[in-house]
Amino acid sequence: MARDNPPWERQRKQLERKLNRRASYDRILIVSEGSKTEPNYFREIRAAHRLQTANVEVQPSALGTSSIQVVKYARELFEKGDRHKHIQPRAFEQVYAVFDRDDHASYFDALDLAASLDGKLRNDNKQPVIFKAIASVPSFELWLLLHYEEIQAPLHRDEVIQRLKQYFPGYEKGATGTFATTRQHLDVATLRAGRQATRATAYDDPEPFTAIAELVLLLTNLRGSQPQ
């Protein structure tokens, strides 16, 4: 008679099944410049819409915060995975690198590198992978400010935060609960971001622009996504 697997072997297999369990929609990797603000925001969306963590992975850049480092880390994490973070190599259909214009010298190089990778990488199913830069000019907080007012002229990142605090008292980098606080104005923010996109692109610095709306719409409309 064959002996049962030892407890540690059963536990290992259970963990593997849990980590590999995912829904039928695309697996998405999001790598951000910020270590708290952006990851918190996207993880809050993931939780609010009951998206499986096996499908939507959110990680800050481990190579550094410059724009090019964010894109390079997104590629590295996709290609090599990270066993400590339970991320398997090439286990995604879509990869997004989230970063700000700010004063990063490598900003335009990062945009170009992301564009060059789009459709060129292959995942574990041998499928071409969407790889996109999600840039904001001047900063991620522009997206939050669009929930409250129309922005058509260039703003410095400090002014963006000052204006945001008029509507969102106590807002600070790394804050939690940002999605819950702003989500009631999500539709109007999306419309305003769309109007900006008709006038400028991520390359038209210093004109205000954010692609965050694109990523938020993707997450909130994933197949099987149900808001709480």
Domain that holds residue 187: 25-220
Would you give the end-to-end CA distance of the chain in angstroms?
A: 50
Q: Which residues of 72-104 are buried (b: 16+ CB within 10 A; e: fewer)?
A: bbbbebbeebeeeeebeebbbbbbbbbbbbbeb
54 in any annotated domain? yes
**Domain-located, residue 83:** yes
5 located within any domain: no
Q: What pLDDT, on the 0 to 100 scale, is given for residue 9?
A: 57
Q: Is residue 4 part of a domain?
A: no
pLDDT at 18: 46
Cα gap 177→199, rounded to integer Å? 31
Residue 82 lies in a domain: yes
How far apart are the C-alpha atoms of 203 and 104, rounded to whole Å? 13
Contacts of 217 (CB under 8 A, 6+ apart): 190
Q: Which residues, 6+ apart, have CB-to-CB distance to 137 below 8 Å?
A: 100, 101, 200, 202, 204, 205, 206, 207, 208, 209, 210
The whole-number pLDDT of residue 25 equals 86
Residue 117 lies in a domain: yes
Q: For every one of its 228 residues, what pLDDT tens digit does the chain have, with 9 covering 90 and above?
A: 444 556 555 554 554 444 444 557 899 999 999 999 999 999 999 999 999 998 999 999 999 999 999 999 999 999 999 999 999 999 999 999 999 999 899 999 999 999 999 999 999 999 999 999 999 999 999 999 999 999 999 999 999 999 999 999 989 988 899 999 999 999 999 999 999 999 999 999 999 999 999 999 999 998 555 455
Any domain includes 10: no
What's the confidence (pLDDT) of residue 20?
Answer: 47
Does the reported pTM lie above 0.85?
yes
What pLDDT is recorded for position 170? 86
Domains held by the chain: number: 1
Residue 85 lies in a domain: yes
